[in-house]
Structure formats: structure tokens, C-alpha cells
Amino acid sequence: MRFQVVILAAGKGKRMNSDLPKVLHPLAGKPLLAHVVTTARELAAERICVVHGHGGELVRRAVTGDDLVFALQEPQLGTGHALQQALPQLSAAPLTLVLYGDVPLVRADTLRGLLAAAGKGIAILTAELADPGGYGRILRNKAKRVTGIVEQKDATAAQRRIREINTGIMVLPTAKLKQWLPKLRNKNAQGEYYLTDVVALAVKDRVPVTGVVAAEAAETEGVNSRVQLAQLERLYQKRQAVRLLEAGVTLADPARFDQRGMLGCGRDVAIDVNCLFEGTVELADGVSIGANCVLKDVAIGPGTRIEPFCHLDGARIGAGCRIGPYARIRPGTQLAAEVHIGNFVEVKASEMGEASKANHLAYVGDSTVGRNVNIGAGTITCNYDGANKHRTVIEDDVHIGSDVQLVAPVRVARGATVGAGTTVWRDTPPGGLVLNPKSQEHRADWQRPRKPGKNKS
Ligand code: UD1
Ligand code: MG
């Protein structure tokens, strides 16, 4: 079936109380409009036309691709007027599917059903709402056939009691649409050109009109306020959580789970509460993620445990590692198997070999660390001279004591031991002990300073 998509996205979204155009507000970390474009692509639309107005260039730049064309609607005189602006961009595809840039959760399957229902006529996605206030109502005759749509503001009291509403999503025959649009008039309560008026024109032309009731009313909900945006965010996160649970992932609480990107999980992965996954995250078999972790663009090997309160970004973590609690892993980090990173340790742009450990309070930056290395508490790689970054190399089996500074560029060769409190600023040979000679004194006559007037302790 050949069809194209027009996404209406020119509206202002006054009730968002925001400088950001409504369709650019993020849901699961991605602009509302981008969700709609993704769905249109899933359907394999032959062209996607975005009608934009408010936020002009910002909206254009938010979504990209060869399949996208844009139509500017300025000023915004209604949904019918919006489609008129898209006309010059429409292809010869026989069907045109109209989507809203602020209705992000409509599912591709639902739209496939709508396209199939259209045949050579119109198909309107409708919903039965307990509270239909504010929406356009679907008018049907005695034979239950759709005869028109009336906007809330133009409706009679009897029409306002109708609970079947227009979601705004519809499929139209392109050639007919081109004939109907110029006939729209704006003699209505809002002085707008309503796309919904084409339905009555279609009925007059004996073009069949089908109303398809959405199975899940929630997927047709639009975002008009931040309250609705927050509600749809939760709905979206719940869908993702349920998908993971069904695939065999343990989620301590599906209501306290946020995925803003792609999350791949192996078998028997466990995720505790309040974790956030961004970008592309891959968790291998048996990985467990403790409470309150943020993971962005990371791949984690089998059996690795991330303890609570860790922040991982742009890293590859091997199998059987133990990270945290309170660890920060920054971009460009690669940890081999069985590495231990403990509390208040920051690792940046560094590789660490198998079974190496930095268990407490350390900064490992721009470093190449070998296998079986122990990095003591308070160790700092001094990688920045104020202008440039330099690398630190720590070879296999090195033992670094507590409170050591490694002034890069520097290399600690295989098997060496670096004494506590040492500043290493020259390369060291393999084995042996590296230390800065220091002396220790004891002054027996030394008086601790006292506050004036206080003689007794
Ligand atoms: C519209 C429908 C109504 C339906 C409701 C569903 C019409 C006349 N009414 O009403 O039947 O129940 O949606 O939410 O179609 N837009 C433009 N240009 C414009 C006006 C709107 O691009 O000039 C876009 C908006 O950005 C939005 C969509 O069209 O994505 C709907 O606009 P909105 O103003 O919310 O229409 P409603 O009055 O809610
Ligand atoms: Mg609306």
C-alpha cells in the first residue's frame, strides 16, 4: 500500500508555559516529534512531511533524514490550513496519513489497521472517552455510519454528550483531499480552517468514511500541558518495563524505572529501583544493577555487579567486575574481567587489565593499567598540566600504596611497589620499591594552640 505521512506540528502549545516549541519537549529523552517520525518510519511511509510554524528552524533541525520534507505554516489558521500548506509537498501516493506531532505514543500496529480500513476512502481513528470534553465529536447516523465531526466549541448540547471523539489521526485519499481542502471555510467558533470539515465533504461526494475505535485510548492522547507530558512519560516507561519483565529481566519496581534510549538485556539481569538508562546500554547475562544508578552508552559483561549510586558513561565493562557503590566511570574507559572499582573512585579514558583493583577514593585518568594491579586509596593520576593531558602507564602486577601522585606522562614498570605518599614523576624500573625519602620527627615539647582564656582542656 502506497502512502505518505503528514505530521501537524505548527501549533504553539500555549499551556506548556515554555519557550521551547511543544513538539520539541522530550519524552523518554527524545522530542515528541521524533517519536512520531520514528513511528512513521516503522510503517515505511514513502514520504514524511512535517508542517511546522512555531519554533520554525528549531523544529526543522530536531528531526533529520532524506525521507523528510517540511512545510511552513505561518500564521497557523487551523488543521485544515496546515494541510493546505503541505499540499505542494505531497507525493502521488494514493493515501495520506495525518499524524499529530504532539501525540507521541500511537502504535504502528494501530496505524496499519487504520490504513487498511481506509480502502479508497477516509478512515478516522476515534476513541471512546468517559470525559470527552474539549475534543471534536464523531457524528454517526442511524446506520452508525460517520457523517461528520463537530468541534466542542461548535457543538450543540446534545452533540457534547457524544463520547466518541476524533483523535485527529486519519487517513485520506490524496487526490480527493486536494479537491476538498480549497473548499474549507472558517465560519466557525474559532475562525479556523478545520481539517475535520473534509469529512462532511467526503460524505457529500459519497466517499466512504470509516471510524476505527482505538483499542487503547491512552495511545491516542496528546500533550497539551506538562501534566499530560508527565503522564505519557510514565505510560511509556511502563510499556518498556513490561516488555523487559516479559523478556525475563527482574525489575525491583517497574514504576521506578526509566529508559531513555536502547536497553539490551541478557538472561537473568536484575535491576534495582530508580535506575536510569540512556543512549545505548547492553547488559549481558547475570548482570545486576544496584539502586540509583545512571548508565549511559555502556556495555557490561556477564555476571558483573554494579552496586548502588554509580554513574557510568561511555564505557565497556568486562565480565565478573564489581563497581561501586558510589563509583564514577567516564567516557573512554575499558575495564577487563574481574576488575574492582570501589567507592569514590573516578575512572576516565583509561584501560584496566584483568583483576586490577582501585577500591577506594582514587582518580584514574588517561591511564593504561595492566593486570593484577592494586591502586591504593587516595591515589591520583595527575594527568593535566594546565594545558595538556598526559598518559600514565602502570604495568602488570604493580602495587601502588595509598595517597600516591603519578605525574603524567609517567610509567611504572612491571612488578614495582610504590610506597604510600610517594609522588612519582619519573619512569620507574621493574620490580623493587619506589618511594620519596621522607623523615619523621617527634617534638615532645610542642604545645597545641589554645583559644584565649581557655586554660583547661
Ligand atoms: C483537533 C481536532 C479535534 C480533535 C483534537 C484531538 C480539528 C479542527 N480539531 O482539535 O477534532 O478532537 O485535535 O486532539 O482538527 N496544528 C497545526 N496548525 C494549526 C493548528 C494545529 O499544525 O494551525 C497542529 C498542532 O500543532 C497539533 C494538531 O495540529 O499537533 C492539533 O491542533 P490543536 O490546536 O491541538 O487542535 P484541537 O483544537 O485540539
Ligand atoms: Mg489539541
**For residue range 390-436, what is the model confidence (pLDDT) as tens digits?**
999 999 999 999 999 999 999 999 999 999 999 999 999 999 999 99
Q: Is the pLDDT of residue 311 over 60?
A: yes
Q: Are strands 146-150 and 374-375 parallel, antiparallel or unpaired?
A: unpaired
* Cα angle: 319, vertex 320, 322; to 5 degrees: 120
Of ligand 1's listed atoms, the one at least distance from the Cα of 10 is 22
Residue 53 gets which letter from DSSP?
B
Q: Identify which of 79, 128, 165 to mutate to test ligand 1's pocket (most ligand atoms within 8 A of the CB).
A: 79
- Which residues 6+ apart lie within 8 Å of 110 measured at CB? 125, 214, 215, 219
> What does the pLDDT average to over 320-334?
98
Residue at a domain's end among 220, 243, 265: 220
Q: What cell does 248 get? A: 525475563
Q: Is residue 377 part of a domain?
A: yes
Q: Are strands 340-348 and 48-52 parallel, antiparallel or unpaired?
A: unpaired
Within 13 Å of residue 315, how many CA atoms lie on the same side as its CB? 28
Q: Is residue 427 part of a domain?
A: yes
Query: Which CATH number covers residue 403?
Result: 2.160.10.10
| 320 in contact with ligand 1, CB cutoff 6 A | no
Share of the chain above pLDDT 90, in %: 96
Are residues 100 and 82 part of one domain? yes
- Our count of domains for the chain comes to 2
Q: Is residue 445 part of a domain?
A: no
Are residues 70 and 13 part of one domain? yes
* Cα angle: 94, vertex 95, 99; to 5 degrees: 155
Q: Are strands 294-300 and 3-9 parallel, antiparallel or unpaired?
A: unpaired
3-state secondary structure of 15: helix
DSSP conformation letters of 96-149: EEEEETT-TT--HHHHHHHHHHHTTSEEEEEEE-S--TTSPEEEE-TT--EEEE
**For residue range 198-245, what is the model confidence (pLDDT) as tens digits?**
999 999 999 999 999 998 888 999 999 999 999 999 999 999 999 999
Q: Is the pLDDT of residue 307 over 70?
A: yes
Q: Is the pLDDT of residue 457 over 60?
A: no
| 381 in contact with ligand 1, CB cutoff 6 A | no
Burial class from Cβ neighbours inside 10 Å (0-12, 13-18, 19+) for residue 144 reads: exposed
| 406 in contact with ligand 1, CB cutoff 6 A | no
DSSP conformation letters of 151-218: -GGG--HHHHT--EEEEEEEEEEHHHHHHHGGG----STT----GGGHHHHHHHTT--EEEEE-SSGG
Q: Is the pLDDT of residue 54 over 80?
A: yes
| 193 in contact with ligand 1, CB cutoff 6 A | no
CA distance 215 to 127: 8
Distance 13 CA to ligand 1 centre (A): 10
Q: Is the pLDDT of residue 170 over 80?
A: yes
CA distance 297 to 275: 14
Q: Is residue 38 part of a domain?
A: yes
> What does the pLDDT average to over 62-79?
95
Peptide linkage before 208 cis (omega within 30 of 0): no
Q: Is residue 439 part of a domain?
A: no
The pTM of the full predicted model, rounded to 2 decimals, is 0.91
Distance 67 CA to ligand 1 centre (A): 24
Type of residue numbered 303: G
**For residue range 122-137, what is the model confidence (pLDDT) as tens digits?**
999 999 999 999 999 9
**For residue range 73-94, what is the model confidence (pLDDT) as tens digits?**
999 999 999 999 999 999 999 9
The confidence band for 56, taking pLDDT boundaries of 50, 70 and 90, is confident
The confidence band for 325, taking pLDDT boundaries of 50, 70 and 90, is very high
Are residues 235 and 199 part of one domain? no
Are residues 252 and 209 part of one domain? no
Residue at a domain's end among 202, 220, 238: 220
Active site residue 360: yes
Residue at a domain's end among 159, 185, 220: 220
3-state secondary structure of 95: strand
Query: Which CATH number covers residue 20?
Result: 3.90.550.10
**Domain of 314?**
228-434
The confidence band for 455, taking pLDDT boundaries of 50, 70 and 90, is low
Give the phi and the psi of residue 111 in degrees, each rounded to 5. -70, -35
Q: Is the pLDDT of residue 273 over 80?
A: yes
Give the ligand with the smallest distance to the CA of 11: 1
Are residues 274 and 191 part of one domain? no
DSSP conformation letters of 362-399: EEEESEEE-SS-EE-TT-EEE-B-SS-B--EEE-TT-E
Q: Is the pLDDT of residue 453 over 90?
A: no
DSSP conformation letters of 251-307: ES-TTSEEEEEEEEE-TT-EE-SSEEEEEEEEE-TT-EE-TT-EEEEEEE-TT-EE-
Are residues 241 and 213 part of one domain? no
Q: Is residue 140 part of a domain?
A: yes
Distance 84 CA to ligand 2 centre (A): 19
**Do 412 and 400 form a contact (C-beta atoms < 8 A)?**
yes
Q: What cell does 270 get? A: 536484575
Are residues 193 and 82 part of one domain? yes
Are residues 232 and 206 part of one domain? no
Q: Is the pLDDT of residue 13 over 90?
A: no
| 96 in contact with ligand 1, CB cutoff 6 A | no
Peptide linkage before 452 cis (omega within 30 of 0): no
> What does the pLDDT average to over 254-266?
98
The confidence band for 381, taking pLDDT boundaries of 50, 70 and 90, is very high
Closest to 352 (Cα-Cα) out of 310, 196, 197, 338: 338
The count of residues in the chain is: 457
**Catalytic member of 311, 340, 360, 390:** 360
> What does the pLDDT average to over 182-198?
97
Q: Is residue 216 part of a domain?
A: yes
- Which residues 6+ apart lie within 8 Å of 428 measured at CB? 411, 412, 413, 416, 418, 434
Are residues 380 and 299 part of one domain? yes
| 194 in contact with ligand 1, CB cutoff 6 A | yes
Distance 79 CA to ligand 1 centre (A): 6
Distance 144 CA to ligand 1 centre (A): 25
Are residues 20 and 156 part of one domain? yes
Are residues 380 and 347 part of one domain? yes
Are residues 189 and 61 part of one domain? yes
How many angstroms separate the Cα of 207 from the Cα of each of 145, 159, 169, 412?
Answer: 12, 23, 18, 81
Measured N-to-C along each axis, helices 32-42 and 108-118 cross at an angle, to the nearest 10 degrees, of 60
| 422 in contact with ligand 1, CB cutoff 6 A | no
Q: What cell does 228 get? A: 499530560
The confidence band for 456, taking pLDDT boundaries of 50, 70 and 90, is low
Would you state the pLDDT for residue 1? Answer: 83
**For residue range 97-124, what is the model confidence (pLDDT) as tens digits?**
999 999 999 999 999 999 999 999 999 9
Q: Is residue 454 part of a domain?
A: no
